[in-house]
Amino acid sequence: MRTATIITMMALLTLCGSARADGSPRDQNPNPPVEPALQAPSCDITTLMAPTLEREIQVVLDRAAAREKQLLAALVASTDETECVRLVAQIDALDLRRDLDVLKIQIRHARSRGLWDLERRLRERVDELTTGRAVAGR
């Protein structure tokens, strides 16, 4: 379920990333006006979907998929019940680790762009995932 959510989010963000915040196509004006330094940028996740961010997230997803494939192969080959239980626990933990790694990348990119509200919301999501309970006010 988490994989589907992440893939859907990436697809939507990639599609949304083909237009500017004002709705105009990206290629319409190659030299957009520069925002004043004191004006806070839009706090939108699509702002973060730069090629660098996409590559970093894809690396995390590819590594997690490769590791999951290794663990599943080991599970199928295993005849020891204790080993099977250990492998299943590792597979379960892999989903959470992947989600946290993606969120950490997004947090770092939000912080580097001064998107403080987005960074806060992403950190709240990390807290929810690591503690197992929703953050107050949500």
Domain limits, the chain = 2-18+47-131
H/E run at residue 84: helix 81-112
Reported as a pLDDT band with limits 50, 70 and 90, residue 18 is very low
What's the chain's average pLDDT?
74
- pLDDT at 73 exceeding the cut of 70: yes
Reported as a pLDDT band with limits 50, 70 and 90, residue 43 is low
| pLDDT for the residue numbered 81 | 92
| pLDDT for the residue numbered 46 | 55
- pLDDT at 27 exceeding the cut of 90: no
Instruction: Summarize the confidence of residues 111-131 as an average pLDDT.
Output: 91
Strands (E), the chain: none
User: How many other CB atoms sit within 10 Å of the CB of residue 118?
Assistant: 22
| pLDDT for the residue numbered 134 | 64
- Rounded to two decimals, the pTM is 0.58
- pLDDT at 30 exceeding the cut of 80: no
Residue count of the chain, please give it.
138
| pLDDT for the residue numbered 6 | 53
